[in-house]
A and B are shown apart, each in its own frame.
Chain A
């Protein structure tokens, strides 16, 4: 079993779950303490030793099921012992047949293959073991792609000698017939056995499929993740949205922890005479403890201006998602959204859960979303009503939008004012750089007064922006 644990841990590692050697040893020790017969307990125990992060639980469960695929279980539930039933069970008057059956089986001991007996007894454990042995013989771990599934399934069938089982059954049938068992009983019995063999065939195929998935589980999921990271934000499906939520959450967590480190580092301030003296009173004035002032720490202050007009609506959903998470993590985030008018969405985000808040925002609960975007007007409104939300040299202002202004007045002077007052102005634009300044895009005008500008079209871009934010914050 130890080899199995080592191999299993290897597969987990391949899939990005961190497993250390000491944890593998724990797992081995654990398995000595419990009965291996109960799959669920083994699963729980291994999970306790090997999986330490909540996000790894889902992949772990999947990999466990693939790796320790209970091939017997694939057979469905043939737990009832057919041979036994024939021998002991059955209606009255069947005693005769039972006797016959028992005799026949006894006489044929040694003649029937292990698999035949296991099938008759419905011994899933045995079938499972035989299947794994056969898989090893067929070198199943070499499987490369889907096209080989049939081929490998065939090899396993041969290794199992499935054809031999049919011959065995034929022999048994003949024997019973020779003993004078009625035809309909024989037929009934063997129909069931045939059914089991059929199921076993399916199970073998599924088993091979599992193995293939296991070998390439890593590639599959990673490919999926990577694809999503690079896919334009407006092409994501509902499932992707969930994953995207997780990803954003992780990004935000990272941002948060780094900022905490920074706060910690800066915390200890000047020597505090008053506090030290007060503290030393109980020791007769001897300063046992030196006390320092806590430095006042600036919490990051973020103001977000997010365009939610039609042209960027699908993207802004994701940006809003990001902003929502920001607002949950940091205490000082104010979110403004605009199309033609500008409104504050902060209280909304505080009150409602995320999808509802975003839905409400996008459907016009904050500002009229059926207008045409007008950056100039929105900026002017911000300057007039909310300029005080930008604190002198303390606030990061993040503008999200494509800068397409429908040929209205650009009012870039507002951005200039903001830049003069804020710590940094960051603009995230979902449009490619090459199209800035063309048509009704006023990006070139705004660019002048922006400290950082990012073309931000997918999650990867967003991640990069966050990394840079962190760097700026730390330096």
Chain B
């Protein structure tokens, strides 16, 4: 486990995940208090990735349950393997005939079969789905329940039960209890408000778009080989464009795509001719792209002015800070 908050941040950094203090604090506390953690925030800020990296940090297996509309218990928890059961009965037909061979009445035969029930309803024929896998695992795991907002609210209610005591009761077998409480991470894109009940049981972490410094570090780490000058401009520009009224705001993953595209194209600075054509890697709507192109021109003009007359601009900045 983690020693303290800084330890979390350090270990995540070793796994190529730049966490800010808030992320570190919440992950540390969730681990310490053994509580599930609900991660919300806009798409593409690294919610799923956080779970993955935490698993790597702790050296645990990551068990992932992707939610979608119509997801139910049999897909999430366990399912009986009917076909396998059927196959076995077919193959073992002779044996079964043997068992009931000298039974005198139908009732006696039924009883004998009934006594063998356990064979067919044992864990052997139980197909564990992610939730049961996490509970049954001999080693502690990290359980990621991804995009919980996509699942129906009934499923949410069912999940509550599992999350509160980590036991599952299978009618034919009995209650299965978790050997180790998994570290649970739930993510939500906020397409709908989660129920209060589930929120109450989780610690809540809202990850927003990163600030410039953090984004810079992230891009530097994930896309090595971007020149410092270009990298700084690129992040500055993305940060700026996020404040604009856009239909879809670019997220970190889009910044990374853009950085990759620019490295592939061997761009030296944002002023290059080729950059104009790459804006659609960060923006997904035509209207946004047009707006961003204009913004980019302003941005470059401003930079040029800054380069031409650095002292003046700096003073202005200083004044602003004061």
Contacts and interface: CB of A to CB of B under 8 A. Distances in A.
B82 interface: yes
B247 A22 contact: no
Interface residues of B, number: 37
B82 A257 contact: no
Interface string B17-34: 000011001101100110
A54 B40 contact: yes
A45 B29 contact: yes
Interface stretch (A33-41, A79-87, A206-214, A442-450): A33-41
B247 A29 contact: no
Interface stretch (B140-148, B201-209, B234-242, B274-282): B201-209
A54 B206 CA distance: 7
Interface stretch (A91-99, A160-168, A314-322, A350-358): A350-358
A40 B38 CA distance: 20
B287 A41 contact: no
Given A41-B21, A54-B206, A23 B200 contact: yes
A386 interface: no
Interface string B123-161: 000000000000000000000000000001000000000
A354 B285 CA distance: 13
Nearest to B33: A29
Contact of A54 (B21, B190, B246): B190
A257 to B, nearest CB: 6
Interface in B38-83: 38, 40, 82-83
Contact of B25 (A29, A45, A284): A45
A48 B196 contact: no
B86 interface: yes
Given A33-B29, A51-B204, A53-B193, A352 B5 contact: no
A283 B25 contact: no
B204 A288 contact: no
Given A34-B5, A352-B247, A44 B287 contact: no
A260 B151 CA distance: 12
B294 interface: no
A351 B82 contact: no
B193 A253 contact: yes
A44 B196 contact: no
A30 interface: yes
B29 A354 contact: no
Given A48-B29, A282-B83, A57 B206 contact: yes
B245 interface: yes
Given A41-B5, A356-B287, A48 B32 contact: no
Given A264-B152, A355-B245, A356-B245, A30 B200 contact: no
Interface in B148-186: 152
Contacts of A282: 82-83
Contact of A351 (B5, B192, B286): B286
Contacts of A354: 245
A54 B193 CA distance: 10
B204 A47 contact: yes
Interface in B187-230: 190, 192-194, 196, 199-206
B121 to A, nearest CB: 15
B203 A26 contact: yes
Nearest to A53: B193
A104 interface: no
Interface string A31-74: 00110000011001101110111100100000000000000000
Contacts of A29: 33
A48 B246 contact: no
A172 B194 CA distance: 63
A48 B203 contact: yes
B35 to A, nearest CB: 7
A26 B33 CA distance: 8
A30 B33 contact: yes
B204 A48 contact: yes
B123 to A, nearest CB: 20
Nearest to A23: B200
Contact of A44 (B26, B193, B200): B26
A151 interface: no
Nearest to A52: B199
Contacts of A33: 28-29, 32-33
A49 B38 CA distance: 11
B8 to A, nearest CB: 12
Given A44-B21, A257-B192, A353-B287, A30 B29 contact: yes
Interface string A253-275: 10011001000100000000000
A34 to B, nearest CB: 7
A18 interface: yes
Nearest to B23: A44
Given A34-B5, A351-B285, A355-B245, A45 B200 contact: no
Interface in B75-121: 82-83, 86
B290 to A, nearest CB: 10
A20 interface: yes
In the complex, which of the residues B194, B199, B288 has the most CB atoms of chain A within 10 Å of its own CB atom? B199
A18 to B, nearest CB: 7
Contacts of A288: 82
B185 to A, nearest CB: 13
A283 B82 contact: yes
Contacts of B245: 353-356
Contacts of A23: 200
Contact of A353 (B29, B38, B193, B247): B247
B65 to A, nearest CB: 21
Nearest to A51: B204
Interface string B283-300: 001111000000000000
Nearest to B37: A48
B190 to A, nearest CB: 7
A353 B288 contact: yes
A345 to B, nearest CB: 14
Nearest to A49: B203
In the complex, which of the residues B38, B247, B285 has the most CB atoms of chain A within 10 Å of its own CB atom? B247
A269 B168 CA distance: 31
Given A34-B25, A282-B82, 7 more contacts: A22-B200, A40-B21, A44-B21, A48-B203, A48-B204, A49-B204, A54-B190
8 contacts: A20-B196, A22-B201, A26-B35, A34-B25, A44-B22, A47-B22, A54-B206, A282-B83
Closest 4 CB pairs of A and B: A52-B199, A353-B247, A44-B22, A48-B203
Interface of A: 18, 20, 22-23, 26, 29-30, 33-34, 40-41, 44-45, 47-49, 51-54, 57, 253, 256-257, 260, 264, 282-284, 288, 351-356
